[in-house]
Amino acid sequence: MRDTLITIFGGGGFLGRHITQQLTAAGARVRIAQRNIRIAQDVKPLGNLGQTQLVAADITKPESVARAVHGADAVINLVGILKGDFDAIHHVGAANVAQAAAAAGCAAMVHVSAIGADASSKSAYGRSKADGEAAVRAAFPTATILRPSIVFGREDQFVNRFAGLIAALPVVPVIGGKAKFQPVYVDDVAQAVAMSLADPARFGGKLFELGGPEAVSMAELNARIAKEIGVDASFIAMPDGISSLMAGLTGWLPGAPITRDQWAMLQTDNVVADGAEGFAAFGIAPTPMAAVIGDYLVRFRKHGRFGARTKTRTD
């Protein structure tokens, strides 16, 4: 991929920064396309001089997408939201990117979707992800579609969020405690993206579901985080009826912890489907959470990195 130009829509985010590091290390030039360009400023130093560039682009506006793709050899779409106009971003926006990539004659495209993409999903999020995949496939048939489970890593907004709540609250409510996830390490996903672009003949036109080496429930995940940060937490499993009511209040009750659509998503496990192709196709052994999260959750321990030290004997 040396000297190829790759446009990454949403490249200023958590996953985008790690993908940029993978690509620049391989010698590629990277163009970060971001609606709010200030979000992407810290991506600039990840490559050598002139190796990374920033461009303002809104995937809901085809003309700005076309400008961002102009001259690129390959395109990656990472843009996604957890609340808001799902169809505009996940479906129409994804279609705009794929159509622009095809019109520009790009050799490869990677579209990052999500496990749970399903036209019959109970959640608008899941349905919009499925519609986006279909639109990408129609416009750019050789695109590689990746569906990761929950992505974790040092700057994630998932494990860190729960660690902050557990460290701050005397009693922690757990919504959707039985829902299972297959947390996947950000660098593993980034590697799969880079490999997909490097070998479109092998990975193009295919769909892969990316999950970590184990499935854990929401309740188990909270317990693991509490243990990792040294907190003897008290958890309360919220009954579905109450959590559903709380979700229904979102929109007019400030600070509601979950939206109705997010609650619907928790009614289905977020794990790799039986028979789906995954990391094995890339020759990647997925990284377990236990090997990583201790390094970045240390800040939530009562005494920081010294919080795990054994007590000094006084006898």
Tens-binned pLDDT, residue by residue, of the chain (315 aa)? 888 999 999 998 999 999 999 999 999 999 999 998 877 777 766 766 678 899 999 999 999 999 999 999 999 999 999 989 999 999 999 999 999 999 999 999 999 999 999 999 999 999 999 999 999 999 999 999 999 999 999 999 999 999 999 999 889 888 888 999 999 999 999 999 999 999 999 999 999 999 999 999 999 999 999 999 999 989 988 877 766 665 555 544 444 567 778 878 888 899 999 999 999 999 999 999 999 999 999 999 976 655 554 444 444
Q: Which of these, 109, 80, 111, lies nearest to 208 by C-alpha position?
A: 111
Q: Which of these, 300, 307, 152, lies nearest to 226 by C-alpha position?
A: 300
Rounded to an integer, what distance in angstroms lies between the CA atom of residue 49 and that of residue 215? 41
**List of residues 6+ apart from 311 with CB closer than 8 A:** none
Q: What is the pLDDT of residue 132?
A: 98
Q: What is the pLDDT of residue 227?
A: 94
Q: What is the pLDDT of residue 314?
A: 43
Type of residue numbered 225: I
In the block, which residue shows the tokens 């810290």? 42
Structure tokens at 199: 């070998």
Q: What is the pLDDT of residue 254?
A: 44
Rounded to an integer, what distance in angstroms lies between the CA atom of residue 167 and that of residue 261? 27
Q: What is the pLDDT of residue 42?
A: 75
> How many other CB atoms are found less than 10 A from the CB of residue 56?
14
Q: What is the pLDDT of residue 2?
A: 86
Type of residue numbered 148: P
Angle 159-168/218-228 helices, nearest 10 degrees?
Answer: 70
Q: What is the pLDDT of residue 10?
A: 94
